[in-house]
């Protein structure tokens, strides 16, 4: 790829170094960050295992595949649960759900948060006031009790479990947009005062161009960082809710509701294979995502070197 | 002949960046005499501030002072323990900075900030320190000193804050005052006031001053002795009259000719072509060679040594080497 | 006499100061306080003054980057502050601004070619195919290499960035350029390069400059007429030679004598002004300079001096202009 660029550039005076956009530089910086790269590898592995792994499993979710409550063995690497289901398969399928919840919640939050933040920052005045007051209200509602109440309501009106997952995703996303909206708004307010925005005004650029070419690309780094970290937040929150029995509900497995096996003293003490695998998965995933987020933050630092 | 107060001997300070090693201060040697004003001139990135920070031992990672000596009254500062160095800072050597807006702590009153070093270094009581602080505020030419003592930094203008910085620096009667671009952020009429003040301090207290600046006008006005730096190296050094009358290094000559001077309008300014070299990829040559009008083959191949000529004038340029082959 | 390119009449720009819980306006910063001057085609007018004197605000209000408070700004006979947004946008290419800070004036995520060329395309003045050639042409005029077109701002030094900023203004083929301290962030050796570039461009393209600077020696070099501002008001304006030979306002004299001259043999007989620049939110009564003026008399505290033509084209606002 790099060579292709070299051969196409015919300019004789062209010096050896190729022009590098800030994105290229950030990517190079990220690649040098060993910790972030190992985080990335862990996440990729996690995705591969969760999404490809189940196809390789000889068992299926619905059927009992062996004796119940058996510890790890050659046929069931992580043992079986009290209904005799294969834990490994359940952990993988639960991972699908948890990762999906994280991603979708992040996307919902980014879509709402960055749009509203950008609008508030660019138009200021009453648009800003309305959006930010709404965000303040959202931020002042304690999230956990609200989600518990909503979970209880959902159970009451008997939403089928497979649709409930989607509701959980959207709810989590909807709860977390105000933080991002504030950051984006702040960023846009600062950018507006930068001289290059005044230059855009003097040049008589259209609003569309000013917003989409000048403002938004400069807010993307911060959105990427916050979005990455919010995936971890959503996965954790989903685990909490599912553990409490109001997020993803059985029989659909999720890492959170699998851990709830640990709230039974016998399972907790005698059958650690029931709750350690999902616990380790949550732990690794969240750490890996946070590490990637930190690496991205360093790489995309707006204070660019030189 | 005054004694050397500070002597830099082959000082090297490097910065380890992701792009490579930057030799910010590259084998720098010069001396500051007691009671003398020494100006270090150069453009941004030439290492003039890093030299001063190395003297204070305030170079922080990724920078590291890795070679040479800094003799202060014959004692090598680079070998002192951190505790001894703290005693030197403030007591013996004081420093003022370019940004008077950020070098005072906004949450403390002016009085507290001046008294603090007096209490710590001089062991004064609170009352004595207050009396001395008010004297110092008056000394730097601020009226209503008692009132200023109780103000916060944001209530003062830039020029006033720089005066306060000078008052703090003077509080422990330092032998050397390092001033890093002290007037760059100030307006010309305020700059004139501060320069006046610094001249008075020098004549009254016999304090040596190491003045770092990029403005040759300030140099001409303040300096006894001048050191010109370029890309981390001292390229010329001379007493001020000698330097302005007879600049040797083509870079110094260029700087003097490139500056527009009031009432001496030329139709076209002289320019030094090109720009400062990338500090990471410097070879063993004269760092100025690609911008120099007089560049010879030897300049590209070999680094010129800093040699001494008549009138205490030193220059690092092959033009003045006999035969030029060395 | 041809019609002037730019006519500024009694221009005022006040910024409200808000205070209290209710964000009521409790006062005004009089950044630009009644400024009048004209600028002919091909002229270069320098505006000098210390920080807070309103010189940058004047430049930006003239270009209508800021809305005026009072007065008129006529560019080729049209009042810029009366135009609709659309009409103003159409006028934009004719008047450009060069910024002080070569770092914040370029968008870090936009490459040089786009930064310079986007406005021409956006205005529909040049088609997308031609734009690269136009940009390359303007780059070489401004002393940069054509291959720089695909690079990003972070790959350039301060001086080169300033050249990019000039190229971006120049490609619009403007008649009038406001240069707001274009060299004060640069090193001496680079400063000279940019000053020469600006003066060459003026000659080649018959540009009109409003050159804002705190450095009289730079302004002297580039401008044929110079205005001195103090606390939002013009205190003196004269042709270059006249101003340097016969400054009439005591502030101009002080300013001239305060500049350090790179000649150690010259002992300057300097007028060191006492005190600080007062706040433009609360300017002194009468002549605004009276608090620092070494010649201030009683009348200066009470009466605002008129801004009058004392000699041909030499305007000054001082009760005792030229008397001391």
Tokens of A167: 């509701």
Q: Report DSSP letters for B55-100, one per residue.
A: HHT---TTEEEEEEEEEETTEEGGGS-HHHHHHHHHHTEEEE-S-T
> Which chain C residue shows the shortest CA-CA distance from A13?
C147
**pLDDT mean over C317-324:** 80
Per residue in C40-61, pLDDT tens? Answer: 998 999 999 888 788 889 999 9
The C-alpha of C239 sits at a distance from chain A's nearest C-alpha, in angstroms, of 29
| Residues of chain A positioned with their CB less than 8 A from the CB of C108 | 22, 218, 302, 304
What pLDDT shows up at residue C101? 85
Q: Three-class SS string for chain C?
A: CCCCCEEEEEEEEEEEEEECCCCEEEEEEEEEEEEEEEECCCCEEEEECCCCCCHHHHHHHHCCCCCCCEEEEEECCEEHHHCCHHHHHHHHHHEEEECCCCCCCCCCCCCHHHHHHHHHHHCCCCCHHHHHHHHHHHHHHCCCCHHHHHCCHHHCCHHHHHHHHHHHHHCCCCCEEEEECCCCCCCHHHHHHHHHHHHHHHHHHCCEEEEEECCHHHHHHHCCEEEEEECCEEEEEEEHHHHHHCCCCHHHHHHHHHCCCCCCCCCCCCCCCCCCCCCCCCCCCCCCCCCCCCCCCHHHHHCCCCCEEEECCEEECCCCCCCC
What pLDDT shows up at residue A12? 35
Beta bridge partners of B16: B21
Name the residue among B217, B262, B272 with its Cβ closest to that of C220: B262
**pLDDT mean over A101-120:** 90
Asked if B262 and C217 count as a contact pair (C-beta separation under 8 A), the reply is yes
Asked if residue C96 has pLDDT above 90, the reply is yes
| Residues of chain C positioned with their CB less than 8 A from the CB of B250 | none
More confident residue, C38 or B190: C38
User: At A65, is the pLDDT very low, low, confident or very high (cuts 50, 70, 90)?
Assistant: low
The C-alpha of A160 sits at a distance from chain B's nearest C-alpha, in angstroms, of 55
Q: Judge if the upstream peptide bond of residue A251 is cis by omega within 30 degrees of 0.
A: yes
Euclidean distance between CA atoms C114 and A203, whole angstroms: 13
Asked if residue A262 has pLDDT above 90, the reply is no
Q: Is C270 on the interface with B (CB under 8 A)?
A: yes
Considering the domain delimited by B4-92+213-320, tell me its CATH architecture. Answer: 3-Layer(aba) Sandwich (3.40)
In this predicted structure, which of A45-54, A206-215, A247-256, B45-54 has the lowest mean pLDDT? Answer: A247-256
Asked if residue A10 has pLDDT above 60, the reply is no
> Which chain C residue shows the shortest CA-CA distance from A14?
C147
Tokens of B105: 């702590």
CB contact under 8 A, A217 and C154: no
Tokens of B234: 């001292």
What pLDDT shows up at residue A13? 44
Asked if A109 and A180 count as a contact pair (C-beta separation under 8 A), the reply is yes
Euclidean distance between CA atoms A54 and A93, whole angstroms: 7
Per residue in A147-191, pLDDT tens? Answer: 888 878 877 877 777 777 788 888 888 888 898 999 999 989 888
Give the three-state DSSP class for B10.
strand
Asked if residue A2 has pLDDT above 50, the reply is no
CB contact under 8 A, A304 and C93: no
Q: Does residue A19 fall inside a structural domain?
A: no
Give the structural domain span for A276: 24-52+85-304
Query: Strand B233-239 vs strand B208-213: parallel, antiparallel, or unpaired?
Result: unpaired
What pLDDT shows up at residue C135? 92
Asked if residue A6 has pLDDT above 60, the reply is no
How many residue pairs from chains B and C have C-beta atoms closer than 8 A? 130
Asked if C88 and C64 count as a contact pair (C-beta separation under 8 A), the reply is yes
| Burial group, residue B265, by CB count within 10 angstroms (0-12, 13-18, 19+) | middle
Asked if residue C238 has pLDDT above 90, the reply is yes
The C-alpha of B230 sits at a distance from chain C's nearest C-alpha, in angstroms, of 12
Euclidean distance between CA atoms A66 and A88, whole angstroms: 13
**pLDDT mean over C114-130:** 88
The C-alpha of B225 sits at a distance from chain A's nearest C-alpha, in angstroms, of 33
| Residues of chain C positioned with their CB less than 8 A from the CB of B37 | none
> Which chain B residue shows the shortest CA-CA distance from C252?
B189
CB contact under 8 A, C272 and B192: yes
Chain A residues with CB within 8 Å of chain B CB: 29, 32, 305
Q: Judge if the upstream peptide bond of residue B62 is cis by omega within 30 degrees of 0.
A: yes
Which residues of chain B fall below pLDDT 50? 323-326
Closest CA to C8 of C31, C34, C32, C38: C38
Tokens of C116: 């310079």
Tokens of A132: 């930010």
Euclidean distance between CA atoms B146 and C274, whole angstroms: 19
Half-sphere exposure of C308 (CA within 13 A, CB side): 9
Per residue in B215-242, pLDDT tens? Answer: 888 999 889 999 999 988 899 999 999 9
| Residue to test with chain C: of A196, A200, A206, A211, most C Cβ within 10 A | A196
Name the residue among A13, A195, A206 with its Cβ closest to that of C105: A195
Give the three-state DSSP class for B38.
strand
Asked if residue C2 has pLDDT above 70, the reply is no
Closest CA to C63 of C178, C165, C171: C178
Euclidean distance between CA atoms C263 and B240, whole angstroms: 9
C positions 292-311 inside 8 Å of A (CB): none
| Burial group, residue A180, by CB count within 10 angstroms (0-12, 13-18, 19+) | buried
> Which chain B residue shows the shortest CA-CA distance from C244?
B263
pTM (predicted TM-score):
0.81
What pLDDT shows up at residue C267? 65
User: At A306, is the pLDDT very low, low, confident or very high (cuts 50, 70, 90)?
Assistant: very low
What pLDDT shows up at residue B278? 79
CB contact under 8 A, B220 and C261: yes
Tell me the C-alpha to C-alpha distance, in Å, between residue B45 and each of A264, B99, B214, B268. 66, 17, 11, 27
**pLDDT mean over A253-257:** 84
Query: Strand B93-96 vs strand B176-180: parallel, antiparallel, or unpaired?
Result: parallel
Asked if A70 and A79 count as a contact pair (C-beta separation under 8 A), the reply is yes
The C-alpha of C120 sits at a distance from chain A's nearest C-alpha, in angstroms, of 9
Q: Does residue A2 fall inside a structural domain?
A: no
Domain count, chain A: 1
Backbone phi, psi, residue B39, to 5°:
-100, 135
CB contact under 8 A, A209 and C146: no
> Which chain A residue shows the shortest CA-CA distance from B17?
A305
Asked if residue A15 has pLDDT above 70, the reply is no
Per residue in C176-197, pLDDT tens? Answer: 999 998 888 888 888 888 899 9
CB contact under 8 A, C265 and B244: yes
A67 Cβ contact partners less than 8 Å away, ≥ 6 residues apart? A80, A84
Q: Is C57 on the interface with B (CB under 8 A)?
A: no
What pLDDT shows up at residue A8? 30
A75-89, A245-259, B311-325, C45-59, range with greatest mean pLDDT? C45-59
Backbone phi, psi, residue A184, to 5°:
-65, -45
CB contact under 8 A, A196 and C107: yes
Euclidean distance between CA atoms B266 and C101, whole angstroms: 26
Give the three-state DSSP class for A209.
helix
In CATH, what number is assigned to the domain containing residue A115?
1.10.3720.10
Backbone phi, psi, residue C180, to 5°:
-95, 100
Q: Three-class SS string for B190-214?
A: HHHHHHHHHHHHHHHHCCEEEEEEC
Backbone phi, psi, residue A302, to 5°:
-65, -25
Name the residue among C158, C196, C220 with its Cβ closest to that of B271: C196
**pLDDT mean over C5-13:** 92
Place of tokens 């014959």: B74
Tell me the C-alpha to C-alpha distance, in Å, between residue C142 and each of C206, C210, C277. 16, 19, 38
Asked if residue C282 has pLDDT above 80, the reply is yes
Give the three-state DSSP class for B252.
helix
A233 Cβ contact partners less than 8 Å away, ≥ 6 residues apart? A176
Closest CA to C285 of C270, C269, C302: C302
What pLDDT shows up at residue A58? 72
Euclidean distance between CA atoms B109 and B246, whole angstroms: 48
Asked if residue C20 has pLDDT above 90, the reply is no
Name the residue among C187, C244, C257 with its Cβ closest to that of B43: C187
């Amino acid at each position: 790829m790099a060579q292709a660029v070299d051969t196409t550039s015919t300019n004789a005076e062209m010096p050896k170094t190729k022009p590098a956009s800030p994105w290229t530089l950030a990517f190079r910086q990220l690649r040098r960050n060993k910790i972030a790269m190992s985080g990335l590898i862990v996440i990729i592995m996690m995705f591969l295992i969760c999404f490809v792994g189940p196809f390789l499993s000889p068992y299926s979710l619905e059927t009992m595949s062996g004796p119940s409550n058996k510890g790890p063995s050659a046929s069931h690497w992580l043992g079986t649960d009290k209904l005799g289901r294969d834990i490994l398969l359940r952990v993988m399928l639960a991972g699908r759900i948890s990762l999906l919840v994280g991603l979708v919640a992040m996307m919902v939050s980014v879509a709402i948060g960055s749009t509203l933040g950008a609008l508030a920052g660019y138009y200021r005045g009453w648009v800003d006031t309305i959006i930010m007051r709404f965000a303040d209200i959202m931020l002042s509602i304690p999230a956990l009790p609200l989600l518990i109440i909503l979970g209880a309501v959902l159970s009451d009106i008997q939403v089928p479990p497979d649709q409930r997952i989607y509701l959980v995703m959207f709810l989590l996303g909807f709860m977390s947009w105000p933080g991002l909206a504030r950051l984006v708004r702040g960023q846009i307010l600062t950018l507006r005062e930068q001289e290059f925005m005044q230059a855009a005004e003097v040049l008589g650029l259209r609003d569309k161009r000013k917003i989409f070419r000048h403002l938004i690309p400069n807010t993307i780094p911060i959105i990427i960082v916050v979005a990455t970290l919010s995936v971890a937040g959503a996965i954790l929150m989903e685990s909490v809710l599912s553990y409490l029995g109001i997020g993803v509900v059985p029989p659909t497995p999720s890492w959170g509701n699998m851990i709830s096996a640990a709230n039974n003293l016998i399972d907790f003490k005698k059958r650690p294979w029931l709750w350690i695998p999902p616990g380790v998965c949550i732990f690794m995933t969240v750490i890996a995502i946070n590490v990637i987020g930190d690496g991205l933050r360093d790489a995309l630092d707006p204070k660019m070197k030189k | 002949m005054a004694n050397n107060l500070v002597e830099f001997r082959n000082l090297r300070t490097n910065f380890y960046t992701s792009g490579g090693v930057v030799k910010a201060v590259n084998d720098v040697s010069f001396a500051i005499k007691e009671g003398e004003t020494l100006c270090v001139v150069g453009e941004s990135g030439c290492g003039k501030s890093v030299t001063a920070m190395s003297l204070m031992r305030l170079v922080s990672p990724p920078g590291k002072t890795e070679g040479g000596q800094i003799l202060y009254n014959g004692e090598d500062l680079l070998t002192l323990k951190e505790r001894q160095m703290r005693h030197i800072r403030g007591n013996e050597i004081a420093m003022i900075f370019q940004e008077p807006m950020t070098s005072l702590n906004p949450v403390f009153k002016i009085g507290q900030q001046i008294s603090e070093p007096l209490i710590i270094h001089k062991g004064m009581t609170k009352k004595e320190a207050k009396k001395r602080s008010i004297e110092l505020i008056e000394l730097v030419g601020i009226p209503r000193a008692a009132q200023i003592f109780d103000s916060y930094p944001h209530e003062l203008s830039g020029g006033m804050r720089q005066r306060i910085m000078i008052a703090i620096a003077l509080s422990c009667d330092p032998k050397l005052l390092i001033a890093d671009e002290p007037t760059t952020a100030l307006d010309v009429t305020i700059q004139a006031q501060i320069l006046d003040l610094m001249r008075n301090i020098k004549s009254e207290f016999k304090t040596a001053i190491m003045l770092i600046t990029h403005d040759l006008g300030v140099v001409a006005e303040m300096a006894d002795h001048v050191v010109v730096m370029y890309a981390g190296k001292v390229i010329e050094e001379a007493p001020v009259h000698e330097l302005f009358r007879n600049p040797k290094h083509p870079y110094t000559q260029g700087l003097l000719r490139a500056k527009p001077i009031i009432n001496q309008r030329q139709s076209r300014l002289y320019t030094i072509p090109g720009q400062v070299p990338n500090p990471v990829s410097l070879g063993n040559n004269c760092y100025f060679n690609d911008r120099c009008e007089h560049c010879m083959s030897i300049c590209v191949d070999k680094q010129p040594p800093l040699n001494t000529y008549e009138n205490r004038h030193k220059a690092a340029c092959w033009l003045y080497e006999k035969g030029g082959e060395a | 006499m041809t019609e002037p390119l730019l006519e500024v009449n009694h221009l005022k720009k006040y910024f409200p100061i808000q205070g209290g819980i209710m964000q009521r306006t409790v006062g005004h910063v009089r950044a630009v306080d009644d400024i009048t001057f004209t600028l002919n085609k091909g002229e270069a007018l320098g505006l000098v003054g210390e920080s807070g004197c309103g010189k940058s605000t004047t430049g930006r209000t003239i270009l209508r980057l800021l809305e005026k408070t009072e007065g008129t700004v006529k560019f080729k006979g049209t009042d810029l502050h009366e135009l609709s947004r659309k009409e103003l946008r159409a006028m934009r290419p004719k008047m450009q601004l060069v910024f002080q800070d070569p770092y914040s004036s370029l968008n870090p995520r936009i490459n040089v070619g786009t930064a310079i060329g986007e406005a021409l395309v956006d205005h529909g003045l040049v088609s997308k195919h031609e734009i690269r050639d136009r940009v390359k042409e303007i780059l070489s005029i401004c002393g940069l290499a054509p291959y720089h077109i695909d690079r990003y701002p972070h790959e350039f030094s301060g001086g080169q960035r300033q050249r990019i900023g000039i190229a971006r203004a120049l490609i619009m083929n403007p008649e009038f350029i406001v240069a707001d301290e274009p060299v004060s962030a640069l090193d001496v050796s680079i400063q000279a390069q940019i000053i020469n570039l600006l003066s060459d461009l003026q000659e080649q393209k018959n540009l009109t400059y409003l050159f804002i600077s705190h450095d009289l020696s730079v302004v002297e070099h580039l401008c044929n007429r110079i205005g001195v501002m103090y606390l939002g008001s013009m205190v003196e304006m004269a042709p270059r030679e006249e101003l340097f030979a016969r400054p009439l306002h005591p502030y101009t004299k002080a300013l001239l004598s305060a500049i350090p001259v790179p000649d150690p043999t010259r002992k300057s007989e300097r007028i060191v002004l006492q005190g600080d620049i007062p706040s433009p939110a609360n300017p002194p009564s009468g002549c605004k300079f009276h608090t620092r003026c070494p010649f201030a008399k009683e009348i200066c505290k009470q009466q605002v001096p008129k801004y009058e033509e004392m000699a041909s084209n030499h305007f000054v606002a001082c009760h005792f202009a030229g008397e001391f």
